A and B are shown apart, each in its own frame.
Chain A
Amino acid sequence: MKNTIAHRVADFLKNYPPFNEIGIKDLEALSQEIKIVYKVKDAVIFDEDEKAHAYFYVVHKGAVALTKKNDTDLVDLCDEGDIFGLRPLMANEDYKIGAKAYEESILYAIPIVEFRPFTNNHEGVANFLMESFASNTRNPYSIVRKGKLFQEGPEVTAAKPTSDLLDLQTVNYSKKLVSCSPNTTVKTIASRMTKKRVGAMLVLENKLPIGIITDKDLRNKIATGAFPISARAKDIMSAPVITYPTKMTMAQAQMAMMKSGISHLCLTVDGTPNTEAVGIVSKHDIMLELGNNPAVLMKAIKRAEKFKKIKKIRHNIMNLLKGYLEQNIPLTLISKIITELNDACIKQVIKISLEKLDGPPPVKFAWLAMGSQGRSEQLLHTDQDNALIFENVDEGQLQATKAYFLDLAKKVTKGLNEIGYEYCPAEMMASNPEWCLSLSEWKERTTHWITNPGKDQVLLSSIFFDYNRSYGDAELVGELTAHILSTTQKYPIFFVHLASGALQNPSPSGFFRSFLVEENGAHKDFFDLKRRALMPLVEGARVLVLSSQVKSINNTAERFEKLAELEPNNRELFLACSYATKALLKFRTKQGLLHNDSGRFIALDTLTKEEKIKLKRTFKTIKELQELIKIRFKVANLVG
């Protein structure tokens, strides 16, 4: 009898090599025998030198990191549809690399006994596995599978740690060619190139490449008036085409481009123009492969048409961040660049989501990032906190308008989740009707918070008031900001509550300047860097800046710098605060990258003496800042 789950498994596997070579009937029979394994983040699937399992694995959901001992870098990162743990299938020996869940993952474990017949009967399967195993990269087909890449913008593969040998890697090329015939008009060509977002188009005759048209040809030959707009492809194409075989390394491709002074290479079956064209390599593709360059990543983000693509790019952003931190580049600069890139990712997610909806937004709207993201302090993947604000509409229209934006927000939050932002556990997301409001509703709500500053209201304000527009109409946001500032001026008692909230955080150090660690819970004996050190600074900066009516500076370090400017007599303290914020943020980011988490909880025994001293130095600044807030807002009166 047909098994629903086996069917479901087969339905997934059939999209990925080598399973795509197997008939669906056989695949369902095979799926019947597999095991579905759930792995929590960081759970070990197998260790280096562990005895071989009776299975090999396919990633269904999540990601798996392949690692080697004595090497902190990843050997490889396996994504959805990638296979790993092939050694037992190939050789009767122990694992040579370890595998552990990089994210929460669901794996399909394929029993080797059941699978072996397929390797014998299907040449494609055997070849794929051999190649896969030999090259240590999980998917030699990826080049081909990434066929869509030409149309959808180049795919970013996770940068290989062996970057010095990258030049020797085979080049990734786009297989889905954008091409035209010799008689296509220039106008059609130009509009297709625009639509497909490519910089070059091959001219094919009987599948053979006879010429190529690039942006440059259009500029030099049409825009100059040398040829009329009614010209045909054959009139303006560059010919003959310079062709190369598909098996070429990055270094070769670069050399070829330099040698001929061209930006696109045409790849054919045997490398001559007399065989079918199979792909195109652009300079841009190579740049992307070679490096982590913010400009290139930015371009890749803007070209991404699927959430999945953005997720891959975000892996690269993380690598970039790691590199910057290793090179000790100033944090201000790092966070600017990373924030820009993260922002671009969010924007692109919103753009993609908007296209998925039936119609354009009925009125103007803005997407707000709240919390750390709003303050541009989010360097690592953390939770998403966001809100949506839309233009006021008539009473009668409100429901329908809100429904539209909720639908949009659902798509966006799902997309953000897909690219690596966890859902906010407290549902502070625009997909929650409470956080998707019209301008006047927002005004009403913020007024309520400011005029009734209970514990919850202060907490909500402290999260919301760091909002930053990530997408949409600036005027809406500006109007809300002006409203909040003028309301807080009328109710100065609000600041007292906000200030007292800022002093509620537990102290970082004890009487003898020893670190205070968590006493219970999952993080017992860890130091809570966020709550004990960063939050007092963040919250202090917020209340001081709000009460000084400073608009549109969200970043904590920048806020302190601004305060230093406004209050020369406290200049030294504020600059120290700014410095402390940056130091702590950098520290947290490094810790987070090291452990692939948010970096919030720190095991003190892993720190060097120097690091501990650095940390402690910031605590002194925090204490001074808290004293200043206590006196300025007369908080003592309130908390008694």
Chain B
Amino acid sequence: MIGFFKKRKKNFPDFWNRYEAQFEEKLPSDISKVRFVVLDTETTGFDYETDRILSIGALSLCDNSIAVNQSFEVFLDQYFYHPKNIEIHGIMQEEPKERITEIEALMRFLKYIGNSVLVAHHAGFDIKMINQALRRHGMPRLRNKVLDTSILYKRSLIKSPLLVPQEQYTLDQLAEKFDISTKDRHTALGDAYITAIAFMKIVERLRQSKNLTLKKLWR
């Protein structure tokens, strides 16, 4: 009877098991010791079912610093292709960039993120896109904790009857508020960089008003 409630162990590939094993370790409670992975994806569109990831850019943030050589950038070979997206992202299939398969990209991505805390702007979208890709390859969802800079930013605004917060804040608006140059906008890693700088500044603003611990970040 007890066996019935036991999680049914599926046969996942080794790289997944290695990834999952890292979650047995608890996250440090001191924010400066936590590894954040700030990411952004470029996709063929906004439909979770039919659209595909074209590239993933991510960088690793620890104690308010980013090591450039530890950033992550992959371009995917997707036979599924919307020409209209080329205009936005400038990712051309013919461009001589190293392209890898979706499964290869997922393998590298999982290895890169480990048990870090994921950060993205409108994170829901990027995470769902990645989860869909994982599902297509028969794997469960990401196990990482996720933070969304668009939500955190709203929390960092002062509470004043005179300020009516917007429903949504775009990455461009954040870049403007925090004086971050937007010249690499619409490349996955470029957007991840903007998000990372904004994230650090938002956390600092939150920290000033409250004694912030990691736990309070996803309250």
Listed in ascending order, the chain A residues whose CB lies under 8 Å from chain B are 1, 3-9, 11, 31-40, 61, 104, 106, 109, 414, 417-418, 423, 425-428, 455-456, 459-460, 521-522
Contact = CB atoms under 8 A, between A and B. Distances in A.
B66 A36 contact: yes
13 contacts: A1-B98, A3-B71, A4-B73, A4-B184, A6-B68, A7-B184, A36-B65, A36-B66, A40-B64, A417-B179, A428-B162, A522-B209, A522-B210
B161 A456 contact: yes
Contacts of B183: 8, 11
A417 B177 CA distance: 10
Contacts of B69: 3, 6, 32-33
Given A4-B73, A417-B179, A425 B158 contact: yes
B134 to A, nearest CB: 24
Nearest to A107: B65
A61 B179 CA distance: 9
Interface residues of B, number: 35
Contacts of A455: 161
Given A4-B190, A459-B162, A38 B64 contact: yes
A38 B32 CA distance: 12
A428 B160 CA distance: 11
B150 interface: no
Interface string B160-177: 111100000000000011
A346 to B, nearest CB: 19
Contacts, number: 90
Contacts of A106: 197
Chain A contact surface mostly: mixed
A8 B163 CA distance: 35
A39 B190 CA distance: 21
Given A38-B200, A38-B201, A456-B161, A8 B65 contact: no
B68 A35 contact: yes
B162 A426 contact: yes
Given A8-B184, A522-B209, A39 B64 contact: yes
A337 B210 CA distance: 38
For the complex of A and B, 6 pairs with smallest distance between CB atoms: A4-B189, A36-B66, A37-B65, A38-B200, A38-B64, A425-B158
Contact of A35 (B65, B176, B200): B65
B120 interface: no
Given A35-B66, A37-B64, A460-B162, A104 B97 contact: no
Contacts of B200: 38
A497 to B, nearest CB: 15
Contact of A8 (B157, B179, B190, B208): B190
B34 to A, nearest CB: 15
Given A3-B68, A33-B69, 15 more contacts: A3-B69, A3-B73, A5-B68, A8-B181, A8-B184, A8-B190, A11-B183, A31-B68, A35-B65, A35-B67, A36-B68, A414-B176, A418-B179, A427-B163, A522-B210
Contact of A423 (B160, B162, B177, B187): B177
Interface string B202-215: 00100011100000
B73 to A, nearest CB: 7
Interface in B53-85: 57, 59, 64-69, 71, 73
Nearest to A4: B189
A426 B65 contact: no
B153 interface: no
Contact of A104 (B57, B160, B187, B201): B201
Contacts of A427: 162-163
Interface in B14-28: none
Interface in B125-179: 157-158, 160-163, 176-177, 179
Contacts of A33: 68-69
Contacts of B157: 425
Contacts of B57: 4
Nearest to A41: B204
B187 to A, nearest CB: 5
Given A4-B57, A61-B179, A423-B177, A109 B158 contact: no
Contact of A5 (B59, B65, B179): B59
Nearest to A109: B65
Contacts of B189: 3-5
Contact of A9 (B68, B98, B190, B208): B68
